[in-house]
Structure 1
Amino acid sequence: MKSDKNQVYVLGSARIPFAKSLTSYMDVSRQDLMVASVNALIDRYKLNGIQMGDAAFGAVMNSSSDFNLAREVILSTPLHPETPAYNVQRACGTGLETIWQLALKAHVGAINHGIAGGVDTNSDLPIEVSPGLQKILLQLNQAKTGGDRLKILTRLRLQDLSPKTPVIDEPRTKLSMGKHCELMVKEWNVSREEQDEFAMASHVNGVKAYQDGFYEDLVTPFYGLKQDGILRSDIALDKLAKLKPAFNPEGSLTAGNSSPLTDGSACVLIANDAGAMALGLKPLARIVDVQVAAVDFVHGAGLLMAPTKAVAQLLTRNTLTFSDFDYFEIHEAFAGQVLCTLKAWETDAYCRGSLGLTSALGSLDRTKLNTVGSSVALGHPFAATGARITGTLAKLLVQDGKKRGLISICTAGGMGIAAILESV
């Protein structure tokens, strides 16, 4: 955040282990998942009883019963009960969006500190009644007599009793994110072998990071899990090669090179100088800038290519190139999605025609990419991923004494969000 106003920092982060949906957290609500991460943050940074300036949390798969999810989360923790909170939703970019919003508030001095993050679970899905049953139930509620109710019930059809479960297909194309990514890897000539190799690297890096103790002060055990349940130490290319395509019988995306449906939560503690001083905490990294973008995927653009635009705009505004970064944290919705993004940045025609640049952004150093694992290996609870990545990058910067890191996240609806963090 460059101006004469307050600098804003990541002071710390916390999350619980991520788990494959319908497994370890089968009996845990989304609220309880979010509370677990916030409580871990409170314990780690001694925030008991403190009134935070604000809090922002989000969930993509939210329920009407959790209409005030963020505030209820705060009231379920030992934070001061007068801490305000609100809900945010920008699909898979939700976690980073919450951080951005609170950072802007701290930047102008409206607050001095806050907690941002997100949660998602496919084990606590908000199942709804069908539109037909909904209308009948509303009419029954207004009926005055038993005869009126009986007449309304005669209009009930068997198909009306089928529940309506949430799907993540794009409403305008009726295609899932995986099917859209299949179109992208075909357009950019990304092979199955490339995707499997990239997926394996995510697992290898994640396993090594846990073995080295990197996640020890980032991930708090919960419900019997001590580390991310998706992570595999026995990953091998021959095993990945045997998996069947997940979205298209003739395609190349599999369960092995795609992020799985995941349950989990994560949060980040942010503050300006006054907030850090009040909490007695040393900043880990400075939040420099954030950018969002969107593509017209309905008319041919790749659904998950918007981060190419967001990153290009971010680098241009800050007069930076890939060579100025020590770490790249690119969310792995699919291995193929990341590989398409990398190829796009390396392609002169794409950068000129789609990004409005004078030349290609160029290649980034793959040894600096997702060095401690990312979403394919660790999991992707939609709204939590941005907070996970931000906390990870902040620690990487302070741990290794590096200068600068880039975050890039693709989202449903053809959007992307990117951010720059710098060491303090």
Structure 2
Amino acid sequence: MATSSTRKSTASQGRRRVAVLGGNRIPFARSDGAYANASNQDMLTAAITGAADRFNLKGERLDAVIAGAVLKLSRDFNLTRESVLGSPLSPYTQAFDLQQACGTGLQAAIVGADGIALGRYESVLAGGVDTTSDAPINFGDDLRHTLLAIRRAKDNVTRLKLLGKLPAALGVDIPQNGEPRTGLSMGEHAAITAKKMAVKRTEQDALAAASHQKMAAAYDRGFFDDLISPFLGLYRDDNLRPKSSVEKLATLKPVFGVKHGDATMTAGNSTPLTDGASVALLSSEEWAAEHNIPVLAYFVDGETAAVDYINGPDGLLMAPTYAVPRLLARNGLTLQDFDFYEIHEAFASVVLATLQAWESADYCKERLGLDAPLGAIDRSKLNVNGSSLAAGHPFAATGGRIVAQLAKQLAEKKAETGKPVRGLISVCAAGGQGVTAILEA
């Protein structure tokens, strides 16, 4: 069991409220498809440009643009700043990169929100971008070391000797879809957790089908009209399958955990490799009023956790199960005190395992150090407008998508009921990490 002291909320200690004003993303595309020739910079610039157009920010100096990418080429060393310079924002807008695997976009929002709450920033764009179509392919270490030795050589004789080694040194390093510490992919790690927790195939397929159906319905009613800007001929996420059903998904063969038997995870209940970019606009209430931009919601708090998935008992993608109870305790809330739950659907099995863990008295006591289970949620409030299984999952871009999407959901619900509303975000990430947050309206 991992333990740590519970920090009390600082909301009453002079922190300003952080407004979420909306966001923008480009439609997400399956890898090697519509965005096969688009770079990280192309896509992030497009997302920022769409936000600048939507919120009338042309020539505006924001206090920060915070974003990142998981897969970066060497030319992406100053990715976010270069994307800002290619956008309509003022070139006096400072920007920096941040990376925390799949939690990048949400962590960028947490960092930006903290800056606003403390009075350091008035306005922030936070998000991320990723492409697996334009993945970094690097020289192998032998070739790189030889070329560096040639550069350092003091005489031509030494240089010629080193040049003679080049044919043998030729080689490239292609990115591998595996955890450096285990060699297993996210999917294989998730399959281990799914088997250990006996997550059923039928439940995974039902969650996946519902995600597609709910997102398709949200598109049809215009929910995404002010959250997405077209890019390279795409107007909708091309992974979306409006006619997806449990019956169709049941015909797919498992692709993860096959070696161990009783495999349940398929291409249909797992997210595909995806390209895309997103940003969310956060600000102080004063800045929003000055720019005549309505506040959709407020970014209340965030919490990040990590687990020992190498030598410990935890699954790679189960860190949010640790982060959420800390977040709840700090804010005096229970798991049931939410109108919406946005749990990132990296794999349907991970969402179901997470919910099962919070319902388990043994898990909550032995792993989380709690006296009682967090309990069950009302699943009709889960990912109500679809999530990653439908949209796709460009690693660093998912957090920005969820923040903007949840903020709009909250604003709509509050307008409908006239009552305060609250949403919980949970994003699992590579490296055994998890990023979570609370939004309110």
Q: Of 204, 207, 213, which residue of structure 2 is paired with 1:204?
A: 213
1:72 is aligned to 2:82: yes
Q: Which residue of 1 aligns with 2:109?
A: 99
Matches of 1:316 and 1:107 in 2, distance apart?
20
* 1:82-129 Cα shifts (integer Å, max 9, x gaps): 110000001100001111111111111111111111000011111111
In the comparison of the two structures, how many residue pairs are matched? 422
Per the alignment, do residues 161 and 248 of structure 1 end up closer, same or farther by CA in structure 2, a change over 3 Å counting?
farther
Q: Which moves more between the two structures, 90-99 or 399-408?
A: 399-408
Q: Which residue of 2 aligns with 1:393?
A: 406
TM-score by length of 2: 0.93
Q: Which residue of 2 aligns with 1:247?
A: 256
Matches of 2:237 and 2:271 in 1, distance apart?
13
- Code of the residue aligned with 1:98 in structure 2: it is A
1:138 is aligned to 2:158: no
Matches of 1:323 and 1:238 in 2, distance apart?
32
- Code of the residue aligned with 2:249 in structure 1: it is L
Q: Of 236, 239, 263, which residue of structure 2 is paired with 1:230?
A: 239
The alpha carbon displacement at 1:399 in A equals: 1.1
Q: Which residue of 2 aligns with 1:152?
A: 162
The alpha carbon displacement at 1:359 in A equals: 0.4
TM-score by length of 1: 0.97
The alpha carbon displacement at 1:258 in A equals: 0.4
Runs of 5+ in structure 2 lacking a partner? Answer: 1-9, 415-419
- Code of the residue aligned with 2:238 in structure 1: it is G
The alpha carbon displacement at 1:155 in A equals: 2.6
Note the 1:13-412 alignment, pairs <5 A.
Answer: 13-156=23-166, 158=168, 160-249=169-258, 250=261, 251-299=263-311, 300-401=313-414, 403-412=421-430
Matches of 2:82 and 2:121 in 1, distance apart?
20
The alpha carbon displacement at 1:157 in A equals: 5.2
What SS is found at the alignment partner of 1:413?
coil
Matches of 2:174 and 2:20 in 1, distance apart?
37
* 1:8-46 Cα shifts (integer Å, max 9, x gaps): 110110000000011000111110100101111000000
Q: Which residue of 2 aligns with 1:413?
A: 431
* 1:346-384 Cα shifts (integer Å, max 9, x gaps): 000111111111101000011000011100111001001
Q: Which moves more between the two structures, 370-379 or 148-157?
A: 148-157
Matches of 2:88 and 2:218 in 1, distance apart?
31
* 1:229-251 Cα shifts (integer Å, max 9, x gaps): 10002212232122222223232
Matches of 1:295 and 1:85 in 2, distance apart?
30
Matches of 1:334 and 1:390 in 2, distance apart?
19
- Code of the residue aligned with 1:311 in structure 2: it is V
* 1:366-409 Cα shifts (integer Å, max 9, x gaps): 10000111001110010010000000000000012161000000
- Code of the residue aligned with 1:404 in structure 2: it is R
Matches of 2:88 and 2:225 in 1, distance apart?
23
What SS is found at the alignment partner of 2:370?
coil
Runs of 5+ in structure 1 lacking a partner? Answer: none
Q: Which residue of 1 aligns with 2:4?
A: none
Identity, in percent, stands at 48
What SS is found at the alignment partner of 1:230?
coil
The alpha carbon displacement at 1:144 in A equals: 4.7
- Code of the residue aligned with 2:232 in structure 1: it is Y
The alpha carbon displacement at 1:143 in A equals: 3.4
